Structure formats: C-alpha cells, structure tokens
C-alpha cells in the first residue's frame, strides 16, 4: 500500500454537476506534492467524462444515489485515509496554495483540530467578483482580528468575546481532523444531517483541541442561482428551513449526549436563533410565541451564537423584534379597516 496521505480532500456533488469539473481541476492544480493528499469524489449521478477524469488521476469515486446528504458525508469520512479532512462543494474551488497552507498549519500545531478560513467570491462563469454585501460584516471582522487561535484552556471564553466571524459557514472553508468527526459518526451519517459545516464546528468544540480562524482566502465561493445558500422560491425556502431545522436538532442532541454544558448552551442558542429567523421570515408569530422565544433567549445570552446575532440590538433586541413583528402589523390592520369592519 502507498504511503498514507496527510490530507483527504472530499469533494461532494449532490444533485448538481455543472461546476464539478472546475472544482476537480482546482484540486488537481494544488502546489502541495500529490503524494501528500488523496481525493474522494462523492456524487449522485453518472458522468462519463467526470468518471474518466477521476480514474485517470488515481482518485476514488463514491457513488451515492440517496436523497439525504448525511449518509454520503458519513461514507466519505469513513473511507478517508488522511489525518486532516478538507471539504469542497462541487460549485466552489480551492486556490492553488490551499492544501500546502493547510498541511503547514496542522503539521506545525499537533493540537490543531479545526481550521476555518475565508473565501473570495466568484460568479457563475468562475470570474472573481469584488467584495459585496454577502457576509460583509464577518469579512470585515476577520480582517480586523487577523489570525485567531483558540486554545483549549480558554477557548470558550475567548470565543464568546468574538464578533460575528462565520465560524460555522461553508463546507469549502473548513479543514478538520478526521478523528473529531468520526467520534460522532452516528450523527454525521444520519438522514437528518444537512449542515456539515455547523456539525464540524460543534464536533471540534466537543474535543480538547485548538481552533483557528483565518482571514486568508483559500477558497473561491461561487454565487449562482442554484446555490443552496440562496433559495429562489418560497417552496425552496421552506424546504431549506426544514432541512436546517432537522440538522440543528440532530447537532443539539449530539451535544446533549456529551454532557458539556458550555457547548450545550451554544447548541441551544443555534437552534433558538434559527427558530427566531423562521418566525420573523414566515407568518406573523403570536405574542405567546414571541414571549416564549424571548425567555429562551435569556437562558443563552452570552453565548457566541447569541452575541453574534444580537451585538447591535442587545440581548433583548431579537425578542423586541419578534414582538414588533407580531403586534405592529395587527395594529395597522385594525387601523386600516373601514368603520364597522
């Protein structure tokens, strides 16, 4: 058997093939020596040209035809041979020096378990776009902070002092030790799992490892109409909300089993904020719903997720926003009714 690779690149294509060849070319064009990394390509469709490209490069293909993504993630993580996993969505690209930099970081610090870097935006044609409003606040915060290393001794305290930095966003921006994900493989491989990026972040929080937050742009993130981060219709949006809700619930259950109270509060804040988002973006919530969500918010105040969403409004801001969303439209409806209506 050949020497074990240090990094396993896992490329996933689920229901989409148009950009996959571009993604694979970016992996093939890395400056890191080819023997240092392996490539696994998981996809749910046959494609003669792509299959031939994978075989010619000596990579491994994982065919998967089920609708849920969790079991696909689980199979890839089980099959990977590298100590470090670097994920790539089919519509994104690695910059040429990404794997060399990732390899350097993990070899330099044996305690490093989770590295999250930033991205440059490309359009549907693969051309770089100037910085725009997409995750602009997180980008600015990262640039101001520089490289941040969270060590096990005080990482929760330091994490909760951070501004929003998108620590759990983007599969193509995360690199994580394989053993951290395998410790919770039952959750990762479940049909409920949809948010690999958030799962990996919580798996790292449950392990005694260091986390690094890097402002460097080692990935090119493609914005296009079929991007799952940007649902186009109300039906797609509802389906997207539901998949995230199920995934977050699975993550919270995983954390609760661990017995780690500090991480449990982070998971509770994550679930709560998703429910608040749904309440604000969907039908007007009732006052009892608003008060209930507000009371739950008090229980998770001070967590990273709660602070990152309420830093401008204060801890009670989202509860007030919920109340406004529930009450103000009803007042306007009554005011606009004709007399006697």
pLDDT value, residue 332:
44
Contact 85, 176 (CB under 8 A): yes
pLDDT value, residue 39:
98
- The full DSSP string for 119-167 is EEEE-TTS-B----STTHHHHHHHHHH-SEEE-TTTHHHHHTT-----T
Residue 246 has pLDDT above 90, yes or no: yes
- Taking the C-alpha atoms of residue 24 and residue 144, their distance in angstroms, rounded to an integer, is 32
Residue 300 has pLDDT above 90, yes or no: no
Nearest to 109 by CA among 80, 79, 142, 83: 83
Top-level CATH class of 7-222? alpha beta
3-class DSSP assignment, residue 57: coil
- Identify which has the larger pLDDT, 71 or 339: 71
The Cβ of residue 25 has, within 10 Å, a number of other Cβ atoms equal to 12
Bridge partner list, 167: none
Q: Where in the chain is the domain with CATH 3.90.550.10?
A: 7-222
> H-type helices in 40-89, by residue range?
48-56, 70-79
- Taking the C-alpha atoms of residue 15 and residue 312, their distance in angstroms, rounded to an integer, is 38
Burial track 223-238 (b if 16+ CB lie within 10 A, e otherwise): eeeebeeeeeeeeeee
For the chain, the maximum distance between any two Cα atoms, rounded to a whole number of angstroms, is 84
Q: What is the pTM of this model?
A: 0.89
208 burial via Cβ count (<10 Å: 0-12, 13-18, 19+): exposed
Nearest to 252 by CA among 310, 290, 206, 304: 206
Region 130-136 average pLDDT: 92
pLDDT value, residue 283:
57
Region 9-18 average pLDDT: 90
Q: What is the separation, in whole angstroms, between the first and last Cα of the chain?
A: 81
pLDDT tier, 228 (very low <50, low <70, confident <90, very high otherwise): low
pLDDT value, residue 15:
77
| Rama region for 123: left / alpha / beta (φ>0; ψ in -120 to 50; rest) | beta
pLDDT tier, 241 (very low <50, low <70, confident <90, very high otherwise): confident
pLDDT value, residue 54:
96
pLDDT in tens, 74-116: 999 999 999 999 999 999 999 999 999 999 999 999 999 999 9
Region 32-53 average pLDDT: 94
pLDDT value, residue 330:
47
Q: How far is residue 293 CA from its own chain's centroid?
A: 24
pLDDT in tens, 271-294: 988 887 777 666 556 667 776 777
pLDDT tier, 341 (very low <50, low <70, confident <90, very high otherwise): very low
3-class DSSP assignment, residue 31: coil
């Amino acid at each position: 058997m050949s020497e074990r690779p240090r990094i396993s690149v896992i490329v996933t294509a689920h229901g989409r093939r148009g950009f996959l060849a571009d993604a694979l070319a970016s992996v093939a064009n890395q400056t890191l020596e080819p023997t240092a990394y392996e490539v696994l390509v998981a996809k749910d469709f046959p494609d003669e040209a792509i299959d031939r490209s994978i075989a010619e490069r000596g990579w491994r293909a994982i065919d998967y035809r089920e609708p849920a993504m969790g079991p696909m993630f689980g199979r890839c993580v089980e099959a990977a041979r590298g100590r470090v996993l670097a994920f790539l969505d089919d519509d994104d690209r690695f910059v040429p020096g990404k794997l060399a930099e990732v390899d350097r970081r993990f070899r330099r610090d044996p305690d490093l378990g989770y590295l999250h870097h930033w991205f440059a935006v490309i359009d549907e044609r693969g051309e770089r776009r100037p910085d725009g409003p997409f995750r602009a606040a997180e980008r600015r915060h990262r640039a101001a902070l520089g490289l941040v290393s969270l060590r096990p001794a005080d990482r929760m305290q330091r994490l909760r002092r951070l501004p929003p930095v998108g620590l759990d966003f983007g599969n193509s921006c995360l690199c994580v030790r394989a053993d951290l994900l395998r410790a919770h493989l039952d959750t990762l491989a479940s049909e409920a799992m949809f948010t690999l990026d958030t799962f990996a972040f919580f798996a790292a929080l449950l392990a005694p490892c260091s986390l690094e937050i890097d402002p460097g742009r080692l990935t090119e993130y493609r914005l296009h109409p079929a991007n799952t981060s940007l649902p186009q219709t109300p039906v797609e949006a509802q389906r997207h909300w539901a998949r995230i809700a199920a995934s977050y619930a699975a993550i919270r259950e995983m954390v609760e089993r661990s017995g780690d109270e500090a991480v449990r509060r982070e998971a509770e804040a994550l679930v709560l904020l998703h429910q608040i988002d749904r309440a604000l973006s969907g039908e007007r919530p009732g006052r009892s719903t608003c008060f209930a969500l507000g009371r739950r918010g008090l229980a998770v105040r001070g967590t990273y997720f709660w602070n990152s969403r309420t830093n401008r409004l204060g801890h009670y801001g989202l509860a007030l926003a919920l109340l406004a969303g529930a009450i103000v439209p009803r007042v306007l409806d009554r005011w606009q009714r004709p007399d006697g209506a």
